[in-house]
């Protein structure tokens, strides 16, 4: 009996080691994407109710996931460094006021870093964050990136309009926060090679999309695919699947625009 048990353990270890080695090149650190975290379901963009957002963050915290900043992930990709398989990045798009009301307290509770991509021309408007709220969050583990000035769909723009939306948003945010803004996010995920070049020329070191663009493994830091989190992602299997690092393998590749 003892020999059988030892043999089973050895076989189990070998199988696990083989699986780990075989899938190493398929693993991608998941970048989660949120929009609204609110008590009211919004039609304009995905919404997660506060109680379900809390469940998702509790899962991440209680299961021991290694929540890293977007900057840390980008540095690792550029330097071709492997990160632990339990790593995860959290991002939020648009900069709605509900991010401060409902998401921010949860991030503080569990000491979780996150990046919020803000539309610089909408800061201070109704339903959007104020600069004072942004500055407070910046002091408490929340980073900010640019999401254009007006949330325009970039593939529809040309020349100076593109530059104004991309580089202009960077300048707007840096002027207010007095710090460098390194990360950009394409509205509705749309981009092109021309847009990538303007993002680079504007001084950004990375850019996030949705599930657009070719390549499932996030080797291009200017076309980082993310995973949309929804209000339905509250069961173990749904959350675990999106955090597994293999979710991109089962997603249909979409055109960048």
Q: Give the residue-averaged pLDDT of 238-257.
A: 94
Task: Estimate to the nearest angstrom the gap between the alpha carbon of 169 and the chain centroid.
Answer: 19
Report how far residue 107's alpha carbon sits from residue 104's, in angstroms, rounded to the nearest whole number. 5
Q: Where residue 19 falls among pLDDT bands split at 50, 70, 90?
A: very low
In a domain, 5, yes or no: no
**Beta 87-94 vs 66-67: how paired, if at all?**
parallel
What pLDDT was estimated at residue 252? 87
Q: Where residue 174 falls among pLDDT bands split at 50, 70, 90?
A: very high
The CATH number of residue 112's host domain is 3.20.20.370
In a domain, 256, yes or no: no
What pLDDT was estimated at residue 22? 42
pTM: 0.91
Give burial (CB, 10 Å; 0-12/13-18/19+) of 135.
Answer: middle
Report how far residue 145's alpha carbon sits from residue 118's, in angstroms, rounded to the nearest whole number. 6
Task: Estimate to the nearest angstrom the gap between the alpha carbon of 64 and the chain centroid.
Answer: 18
* Cβ–Cβ under 8 Å, residues 67 and 89: yes
Bridge partner list, 118: 94, 146
The predicted-structure confidence for 73-117, as pLDDT tens digits, reads as follows 999 999 999 999 999 999 999 999 999 999 999 999 999 999 999
Backbone angles phi, psi at 140, to 5 degrees: -130, 50
Q: Give the total number of structural domains in the chain.
A: 1
139 to 86, 133, 191: CA distances (angstroms):
26, 10, 31
In a domain, 22, yes or no: no
Stronger pLDDT, 203 or 12, i.e. the higher one: 203
Report how far residue 154's alpha carbon sits from residue 195's, in angstroms, rounded to the nearest whole number. 7
The predicted-structure confidence for 20-63, as pLDDT tens digits, reads as follows 444 678 999 999 999 999 999 999 899 999 999 999 999 999 99
Stronger pLDDT, 214 or 40, i.e. the higher one: 40
What pLDDT was estimated at residue 24? 77
Report how far residue 47's alpha carbon sits from residue 222's, in angstroms, rounded to the nearest whole number. 26
Q: Which residue range(s) make up the domain with 118?
A: 29-250
Report how far residue 64's alpha carbon sits from residue 32's, in angstroms, rounded to the nearest whole number. 16
In a domain, 10, yes or no: no
């Amino acid at each position: 009996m003892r020999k059988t048990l030892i043999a089973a353990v050895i076989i189990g270890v070998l199988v696990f080691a083989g699986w780990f080695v075989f899938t190493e090149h398929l693993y991608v650190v998941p970048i989660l994407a949120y929009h609204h975290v609110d008590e009211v379901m919004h039609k304009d963009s995905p919404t997660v109710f506060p109680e379900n957002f809390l469940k998702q963050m509790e899962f991440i915290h209680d299961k021991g996931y290694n929540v890293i900043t977007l900057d840390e992930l980008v540095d690792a990709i550029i330097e071709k460094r492997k990160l632990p398989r339990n790593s995860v990045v959290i991002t939020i798009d648009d900069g709605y006021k509900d991010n401060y009301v409902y998401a921010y307290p949860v991030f503080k509770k569990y000491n979780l870093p996150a990046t919020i991509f803000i539309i610089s021309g909408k800061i201070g408007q109704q339903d959007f964050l104020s600069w004072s709220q942004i500055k407070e969050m910046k002091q408490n583990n929340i980073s900010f990136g640019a999401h254009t000035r007006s949330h325009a769909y970039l593939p529809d723009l040309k020349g100076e309009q593109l530059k104004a939306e991309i580089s202009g948003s960077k300048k707007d945010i840096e002027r207010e926060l007095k710090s460098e803004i390194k990360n950009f996010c394409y509205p509705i995920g749309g981009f092109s090679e021309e847009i990538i070049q303007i993002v680079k020329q504007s001084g950004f070191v990375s850019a996030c999309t949705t599930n657009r663009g070719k390549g499932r493994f996030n080797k291009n830091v200017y076309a980082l695919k993310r995973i949309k989190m929804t209000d339905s992602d509250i069961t173990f299997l749904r959350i675990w699947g999106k955090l597994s690092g293999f979710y991109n393998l089962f997603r249909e590749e979409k055109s960048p625009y």
